[in-house]
Amino acid sequence: MRLRRLTILLLCLCGCASRATLPSSLSSLAPKNVIVIIGDGMGPQQIALAFAHERFSRHRQETIKKFTQFCDSSLVGLHIPFTEKHLVNDSACAATQLSSGCGCEPQQVGIDAHSLPCENAVEVAKKLGMRAGAISDTRLTHATPASFGVHEEHRSMEDSIAWKLSNSPLDVMLSGGLSYFLPRDAAAQGALPFAVGSVTSERRDSLNPLSNALGRGYHVVRDKRELSRASLPVLGLFATKNMGDAFHEGRDREPTLAEMTQRALTLLENPNGFFLMVEAGQIDWAGHANDAGWLLAEMKRLATLVAVIERFRQEHPDTLVLMTGDHETGGFGFSYTGEPSDGVTFKSSEGSKLNFGASDVINTLDASSRSLSDISREFAALPAEQRTPEKLCEMVRDGTRLELSVESAKTLLSGPEWRSVFYPYPHYIASARLAALLTPQMNIAWSTGTHTSTPIPIFARGPGAERFRGVMNTREFGDRLLALMQARERT
Ligand SMILES: [Zn+2]
């Protein structure tokens, strides 16, 4: 494995014109700390939504301003999210590429297309005597954090991923996913140093990742208060499965993404430096659901995270911060329509009216307090006699301030089963169908319920940032990251 990485490094050093000066320049650029922020499903249009909020919202936020300033002050690159043989990527392979520079295929976790494990940034950091952490606002066993911690054939093998994470070299692991770490055996649960309550295990085997982690010295914490007191190494499991969405962040004593990160930075800081990956993972879920109000809320969560990390970077200028996405989700964007709005003054050369989108749409999105997925789920759970078009309109209005017409609601509820090859996930379809009725009035267009091959921006600040300028394949990001970290060996 080491030989493979060395070979890649030598190839990179010798074979690429743009890297011709690496041996001497890299060592002087090697950062002490490296923080990688991944906005899952975050392409250029998602980033532009945050910029639109900064420009047009009646309720400007200091954290969004800091986010746009961070982007504005960074060196910018672009990665093209192809896999080895496919046009579209998923979070497992993309995170494998970003963390290791490995050539993989969709759904593989930390392994290459030949199923061989790929050395990742966490493993390199530990070899270099650095500390390492992984944080997500989804669950620890989900594709992105898993690909920074373990090697697994398929992202769906979450009980195996939990077991491997409990054996991983990570000093800090913070997210949801308790049910995958909890043993299936009730007697083994009883032997744990805390009450399990109503949490049921998702495990199909007899392994006990929690006891294993405790035996390896991890402090297992399950809420904000326990996290504030924990020391290294720490395993934080703050939700049975997924952590709350941005509308419910901090529910049930869950720490926020920014709070988890702030605590991790305090714990990880040391004279040898650290590597930290933080994922804002629900940007992707809002994209799958075609829910622009939820998407904006998730971008605000990311902005708050970036503000925390940027403050740390300013206080520790020997820190490299890289922010990127793994792929784009939903084919999201604003688009002009031929549906005139009040006061429209634009006309095409053929004389038809054009609606270029009122900036007040940002304020409409800003008023959302629930996801369309939550609204759909709650509506579906009502007794049959209450599931009326009028009730659906009321629930949409209460949760989003958007007006769904009774006629549209009738069509939605009485229409034939809706199918599209670009919407393969049943649990997102109700939300996407609602969005299809609501978003044209906001000049919002979605093209899919899955991922796209849109090129993804990279924002880099700190020592070594210039290595991420230019256009690269996603795996080349990982190559450059590892080469920069390994350069520490030569300093
Ligand atoms: Zn996704």
Residue 344 has pLDDT above 70, yes or no: no
Our CA dihedral for 458, 459, 463, 467, rounded to 10 degrees, sits at: 30
pLDDT digits (tens, 9 = 90+) for 312-330: 999 999 999 999 999 999 9
CA distances (Å), 333 to each of 325, 351, 358, in order? 16, 25, 14
Q: List pLDDT tens digits, range 163-188.
A: 999 999 999 999 999 999 999 987 88
- The answer to whether residue 1 scores a pLDDT higher than 60 is no
pLDDT value of position 14: 36
CA–centroid distance, residue 287 to ligand 1 (Å): 8
Q: Above pLDDT 90, what percent of the chain?
A: 82
Does 467 score more than 80 pLDDT?
A: yes
Q: Specify the pLDDT at position 16.
A: 34
pLDDT class of 18 with cuts at 50, 70, 90:
very low
Task: Tell how far the Cα of 372 is from the centroid of ligand 1, in angstroms.
Answer: 17
- Give residue 154 CA to ligand 1 midpoint distance, Å: 15
Residue 320 to residue 275: CA distance in whole angstroms? 10
Structure tokens at 441: 């009035």
pLDDT of residue 11: 38
Per-residue pLDDT, averaged over 345-360, amounts to 86
Domains (range + CATH), the chain: 22-331+451-490 (3.40.720.10), 333-445 (1.10.1200.140)
Query: How far, rounded to the nearest angstrom, does the alpha carbon of residue 163 sit from its chain's CA centroid?
Result: 22
Q: Tens digits of per-residue pLDDT, 181-213?
A: 999 987 888 888 888 888 899 999 999 999 999
Which of 21-25, 198-202, 351-355 is least confident? Answer: 21-25
Q: Name the pLDDT band for 341 (thresholds 50, 70, 90).
A: confident
246 alpha carbon – ligand 1 mean position (Å): 17
Distance 92 CA to ligand 1 centre (A): 9
Q: Which is nearest to 442 in space by CA: 313, 341, 320, 353?
A: 341
CA distance linking residue 147 with residue 91, whole number of Å = 9
Say how many Å lie between the CA of residue 490 and the centre of ligand 1: 38
pLDDT value at residue 13: 37
What average pLDDT is seen over the chain? Answer: 92
Distance (Å) from CA 91 to ligand 1 centroid: 6
Ligand 1 centre to CA of 448 (Å) is: 11
CA dist 290 and 211 (Å) reads: 40
Note the pLDDT of residue 491. Answer: 57
- What is the average pLDDT across 350-368? 91
Residue 51 pLDDT exceeds 80: yes
CA of 42 to the centre of ligand 1 (A): 10
Closest to 337 measured CA to CA, from 441, 436, 448, 446: 441
Q: Residue 264: pLDDT above 80?
A: yes
Distance 420 CA to ligand 1 centre (A): 17
Better-predicted residue by pLDDT, 14 or 220: 220
Q: By percentage, how much of the chain surpasses pLDDT 70?
A: 93
> Ligand 1 center to residue 61 CA distance, Å?
27
Q: Does pLDDT of 435 surpass 90?
A: yes
Least confident of 10-14, 260-264, 306-310: 10-14
Quote the pLDDT of residue 490.
58
Over 90: is that where the pLDDT of 17 sits? no
Q: How far is 183 from 189, CA to CA, in rounded Å?
A: 6
Cα(365)–Cα(68) distance, rounded to whole angstroms? 19
pLDDT at 8 over 50: no
> What's the confidence (pLDDT) of residue 425?
93
What is the 375 CA–ligand 1 centroid distance (Å)? 21
* The predicted structure's pLDDT at residue 489: 66
Q: How far is the CA of 90 from the centre of ligand 1 (A)?
A: 6
User: Is pLDDT larger for residue 2 or for residue 49?
Assistant: 49
CA of 281 relative to ligand 1 center, distance in Å: 9
What type of residue sits at position 166?
A: S
At residue 36, the pLDDT reads: 98
What DSSP string describes 146-198? HHTT--BS-TT-HHHHHHHHTTS--SEEEES-HHHHS-S-HHHHHTSSS--TT
Span from the CA of 327 to the centroid of ligand 1 (angstroms): 8
Identify the sign of the CA torsion 232, 238, 242, 248.
Answer: negative
Q: What letters, b where the CB count within 10 A reaches 16 and e where it falls short, cover 410-438?
A: eebeeeeeeeeeebeeeebbbbbbbbebb
pLDDT tier, 343 (very low <50, low <70, confident <90, very high otherwise): low
Q: At 28, is the pLDDT very low, low, confident or very high (cuts 50, 70, 90)?
A: low
**pLDDT value, residue 352:** 85
Average pLDDT over residues 418-442: 92
Closest to 200 in 3D by CA, of 210, 212, 185, 215? 185
User: Mean per-residue pLDDT for 34-48?
Assistant: 98
Cα(366) to centroid(ligand 1), Å = 23
Instruction: Output the pLDDT for position 23.
Output: 43
| pLDDT for res 181 | 96
**How close is the Cα of 404 to the center of ligand 1, in Å?**
27
- Residues 67-109 pLDDT 10s: 999 999 999 999 999 999 999 999 999 999 999 999 999 999 9
